[in-house]
Amino acid sequence: MTALTTVLVLFALIGAVPSLTMALQFVLVPFHAVANHYRRAAPYYPNVAVVVPAWNEAAVIGASIDRLMALDYPSDRVRVYVVDDASTDETPDVVRAKAVQYPGAVFHLRRERGGEGKAHTLNHGLRHVLAEDWMEALLIMDADVVYLPTSLRRMTRHLADPEVGAVTAYIREGSQRKTTLTRFIAFEYVLSELGARRAQNVLGAMACLAGGAQLHSRANLVDLGGAIDTSSLAEDTVTTFETQLAGRRVVLEPHAVVLAEEPDRVAGLWKQRLRWARGNVQVTKRYRHIWFRPWKRDRLSSVSFGLVWFSVLLLPVFMLLASVGLVGLYLIDSPLTSIIFRSLWISVGCAYLFSMALGAQLDPRTSRIAWREILLFPGLISMVVMLSAFFPGLFDERVPQLFGLRLTDTGYDVWNLAVFSWISLCMVAAWLIKLIDGTRAGSWLSPLLIYLIGYGPILCAITLDSYIKEARGAAMTWDKTEKRGKVLA
């Protein structure tokens, strides 16, 4: 085997790393029942200050406050501080009315200079609550999310253990009107939160607290300097890392459910996830001294957590390298081309089937609603490519023969090049979905294209876009996702 062939084979096979890493995480999910924190948890009802950053949230903030006041938690132990980030709508009036309705429990904190981002808004609230001795735990939430009645008490029980610094919940997509995109998001959250975060708890290292569900002990906040990081678009991830680096645990409480309204158009999803992805790039650079250094004895430096982190962060790179490897092997007419192609896609396919099958059991309610999205998460075209690896000749020989057709040599070349490069071409196709989504026909054409091209490729394309934005030094703006107050009660 020549050096070129060896390099191309390695490039092609590296494309399986993210899928195999995901499957390995799901292997760990059942062990969460053993490695969870419940043995050290206990009924615990600290004084909880809820800090809610709000900018033009008049449509949702009133209902959110009402639901917080109705939590299954001692009412005299919950105070809500709405940090009004110089809102220009009726948000201040709504919050002041709720402060009158719930005297001593709801407070309106106004920032006259707004637009600096979520972290600055949170810090305004933190300075206020830390200046008083009342607060024993702090809950950071978004203005539109809905905590199910038992969620807070299920989270606070973990703080009975002083080794726990922060607790997060399961964010479930909760829009009243389900669309193709929100159903994809719903199952993505099952995979990433009920699946991946459970596995990370087993590994002892958590990547990120959910931005809309962060419960911190007072001691943890004080150790973090009493403020949220403002230098990154991923302030929640920085807080998660700093908590663990300081020696405290971060725990997922999967039975604490928080409903959230998610984007129903690709443009809104792109804006939201681009901010998240850029934040992850920034976090990766910021903590470059911890990656793959197990001798440091903190779990964030472990090889296993490094694989989990970079399998997501570098997914577009792995996909591009896989295409380069497969196409390169084909162009040099290597006899290994078919073997490597089948090895790659069969491993990806098996990992996908295993992860989806287990993920579907973690939240049966969501799975019943999103069964089509579970089947077509990678896209119909990717499923065709996958089947062509499992059953060679199915689509380039047998299917054409059913219609009395036969591919020419040129046809075979076009088919093979398309199949071998689809693992990265799908990201280009995902960009086209974004462009089409903004047109008049986008409302009915985009859902069809998402089923065809896949939801996963859209997320990969957004991550690739984050590389470009970071390389160009694009402005770091905290763009709020538009909310309509359509979360299920």
**396 and 269 fall within a common domain:** no
The domain tally of the chain equals: 2
Residue ranges of the alpha helices (H) in 15-150? Answer: 17-28, 32-35, 61-69, 91-101, 118-130
Q: Looking at the structure, do residues 450 and 393 belong to the same domain, yes or no?
A: yes
Domain with 397, as residue range(s), is: 3-20+305-472
Q: Is the pLDDT at 363 greater than 70, yes or no? A: yes
Answer yes or no: do 230 and 323 share one domain.
Answer: no
The answer on 309 and 288 residing in a single domain is no
Q: Do 243 and 367 lie in a common domain?
A: no
Token readout for 284 is 């990766």
Q: Are residues 202 and 251 in the same domain?
A: yes
Q: How far is CA 344 from CA 11, 70, 452, in A?
A: 11, 52, 21
| Statement to judge: residues 273 and 153 lie in one domain | yes
User: Does residue 343 fall inside a structural domain?
Assistant: yes
Burial class (CB in 10 A: 0-12, 13-18, 19+), 22: buried
Is there a single domain that holds both residue 13 and residue 73? Answer: no
**286 lies in the same domain as 361:** no
- pLDDT, tens only, 138-163: 999 999 899 999 999 999 999 999 99
In a domain, 360, yes or no: yes
From 273, 293, 313, the end of a domain falls on: 293
Question: Model confidence over 33-42: pLDDT tens digits?
Answer: 888 889 999 9
- Asked if 182 and 262 touch (Cβ cutoff 8 Å), the reply is yes
Percentage with pLDDT > 70 across the chain: 97
Q: Is there a domain that residue 45 lies in?
A: yes
Q: For residue range 78-129, list pLDDT tens digits in order.
A: 999 999 888 888 989 999 999 999 999 999 999 887 777 888 999 999 999 9
Are 332 and 234 in a shared domain?
Answer: no
The pLDDT of residue 432 is 94
Q: What is the pTM of this model?
A: 0.93
Residue 180 forms part of a structural domain: yes
Sort strands 146-147 and 78-85 into parallel, antiparallel or unpaired: unpaired
User: Are 405 and 270 contained in the same domain?
Assistant: no
Last residue of a domain, one of 265, 293, 321: 293
Q: Give the C-alpha separation, 51 to 125, whole Å.
A: 6
Q: For residue 150, tell me if it sits in a domain.
A: yes
CATH number at residue 125: 3.90.550.10
Distance, CA of 197 to CA of 186 (rounded, Å): 15
Asked whether the beta carbons of 154 and 73 are under 8 A apart, the reply is: no
Model pLDDT, residue 364: 95
Assigned domain for 32 exists = no
Is the per-residue pLDDT at 415 higher than 70? yes
Instruction: Give yes or no: residues 281 and 343 share one domain.
Output: no
Instruction: Flag whether pLDDT at 476 surpasses 80.
Output: no
